[in-house]
Structures are given as structure tokens and as C-alpha cells.
Amino acid sequence: MTRIGEAFDRARREGRAAFVAYVTAGDPSSEDTVGLARALGRAGADVLELGVPFSDPIADGPVLQRAASRALAAGTTLADVFAIARRIRSETDLALVLFSYLNPLIRFGIERTARDARQAGFDGALVTDLPPEEESAARPALRAVGLDTIFLVSPTSPPRRMAAAARLSSGFLYVVSRAGTTGARTALARDLPATIRRARAAAGSLPVAVGFGIATPEQAAKAAALADGVVVGSALVAAADAAGEGRAGAVERLARSLASACRRARP
């Protein structure tokens, strides 16, 4: 079992959903990213998705687009992301997911990416624009070095695609809560329970995590009652940006409230 699998297993034994956090690497600097990771670890996060900044992040809303722009303006490269991951791996117990679009990985070289990611301490990879039908572009190289591969499904995924994504995934299956880009929403989608039921049927024993639009402890609690993991990104990135020099403290406070909300009420 990988560190990601262990994180979900530990959460299940403790009667809670795993808390999966996201930050953009290099936003606004490498040092700040490591500081945010430490804060998330203290707050109770189980898994950290470390985003590779990209110039055309089509699945991201305004908050993450701005984060990517800041990181790119600071000169952050994929090699820098690996250097950041090495520090996070040495300073926290977080399971680490390389979160990227396919283009930066191809430019770096898929086999080289897989090797360097594993050596940096990553436990898995999620390539946002890699559909199951094109998995051969990256999945074999990632799996060959022992990285979990995480695929996305959404409310509009037909049964065949959802089954294929689950079959190709390890670590967990990522359920996009609604159509559209990332970003905080005022409420969870009404059809989310039905989407998660379909994902669970496809995933079998593989954990199912839900993300996109979850921003508050109240939303996290509702998502935790449905899924094995709760993913929060834009809300954390926005809190860090708004706090400026106090970003680590702001993120830790929000993350603590989210982690607490992932604990399910005992019957």
C-alpha cells in the first residue's frame, strides 16, 4: 500500500474522511510553499496535491489561475516543483500527489518526470487533462516507478468512462463535484450524492474523494458524509493570498476547521 492508500486507510479507521489539500507550487515562492505544507500538516491534512504551474490551466477557476501566474512569474519550473517536494517530504508526513496538466510533463519527458517525481518523494500523480482513453501517454511510466495514478470523473461521465477511470486509478478516484472549473461555490451540487453513488459502484474498494467547489467546513462535512476523501484547493489558496505575510497562519486556521469537519458524527 502506498502512502496515499495508508492515509485513506487511517482516516477510515478513525471514522473520518481523508482531508486532501491543494496548493500551487512556487506561489508566491518555493519557501512559502514549503511553509504552507508544514501548516497543512500541523492542521491535520492527510494528502497534499502539489500543483505544477501552467500557462493555460483550462480546468482552473480564477483563484488557481492567478496562483499559477504568480508562480510562473517567480520562475517556477517542474524541476523546482521536485525540489519543493523533496523539502516537504523531509519535513512532513503528508502523502504527496503531483497535480499537473500533461503539457509540462511531456516537455520535461514523461519517463524523466516519473523518475524524478518518485525520487523527490511524490506518492502519486493526477494529470487533469489526461482522459482514460489516452492513459498510455503517461500512466505506464508513472506506474512503472510505483506512483499511484489518479483519474477524474464527473457528473457527466457515462458509465463506461467512469468504469475505465476507476480501473486505471490507484490511491483514490477523484470525483469532480460539478461541471465547470475549480473554485469555491455557495453550495454543493444537488446531484452530488447520485454522482458519488455511481463512482462508488465503479470504484469497488478503491477510495473515492470529492473536490471542486468545496470551501467551507459546512460543505466539507456534507462531502465527508458521502465520500472517503474531501479535496479543498481554491479556498486555501485564496486564504493564503489574502493573508500576505501571514499566509501560513491563515491557511492553518482554515485547514484545521476543514479537517475537523471531515470527522463524521458517530451513530
Residues with active-site annotation: 49, 60
Burial 48-77 (b: 16+ CB within 10 A, else e): bbbbbbbeebeebbebbbbbbebbbeeebb
Residue 95 · residue 18 · CB < 8 Å: no
Using DSSP, state whether 208 is helix, strand or coil: strand
- Give the separation between CA 162 and CA 206, rounded to whole angstroms: 13
Burial 10-37 (b: 16+ CB within 10 A, else e): ebeeeebbbbbbbbbbbbbbbebbbbbb
